[in-house]
Amino acid sequence: MQHSNDIDLGRYSRQTMLREIGEEGQRKLLSSSVLIVGLGGLGAAVATYLTGAGVGRIGLCDPDIVSLSNLQRQVLYTESQLGLPKVEEAAKRLQAQSSVTRFDLYPDGLTEENATEILSGYDLLVDCTDNFATRYLIDDICHRLGKPWVYGSIGEFRGQVAVMNHHRQRRYTDLYPDREELCGLPRKTAGVIGAVPGVIGAIEASEALKLLAGFGEPLDGRLFSIDLLTLTTSTIEF
């Protein structure tokens, strides 16, 4: 990866012309690091947009392999990659998109044993997972390390996004306090249209860029929800 001072910022001219970002904000992005946990529908969108935006280092964390049912919504993968590890295949696609960004791969996923060591090396985490237990783990470790994180979830036609552990110090446990009950629920596969993770993943990426480059008003302690079936939205504080 090139040093940020050596990179042709013309690559990011459509971003740097925005007064909220400019060259200073772009250099912040180039020197920043993000861990993406989960490389499914949400993670594919988040990784694509953060790579394109010029985030300097991105960690890709997911123990899963590419399956046929993923292709309906997980835009990083193709039929030729079925059965292959998501982190490796995602990194190939993203590195082809940009030689500027460096990618670190975590094919074992995020666990209680490795979470602190992995998370300590990043400025920000973006949650693209699909289960309560991992989100509570993320919440615990980010709180302990003082790291902000972007929460995202999807189901059917709906999705949610929030920023946790930022200036207002709001946590996932504040939003969903019934940890034992939620973690005890049986895991089941829910339906979803492919556009939902695209929309929510794009919003998560936007929130991440706000936090890294220091512009706009992040969803700090606020939960944004959207229903694509009716195209209605709401934002609440928690």
User: Going from the N-terminus, what domains does the chain have, and what CATH number goes with each?
Assistant: 4-237 (3.40.50.720)
Side-by-side strand order, sheet with 33-37: 102-106, 57-61, 33-37, 124-127, 149-155, 158-164, 222-227, 232-237
Tell me how far apart the alpha carbons of residues 55 and 15 are, in angstroms, rounded to a whole number: 13
Walk along the chain (238 residues) and give the pLDDT tens digit of each residue. 555 556 688 899 999 999 999 999 999 999 999 999 999 999 999 999 999 999 999 999 999 999 999 999 999 999 999 999 999 999 999 999 999 999 999 999 999 999 999 999 999 999 999 999 999 999 999 999 999 999 999 999 999 999 999 999 999 999 999 998 899 888 888 899 999 999 999 999 999 999 999 999 999 999 999 999 999 999 999 9
Tell me how far apart the alpha carbons of residues 161 and 219 are, in angstroms, rounded to a whole number: 8
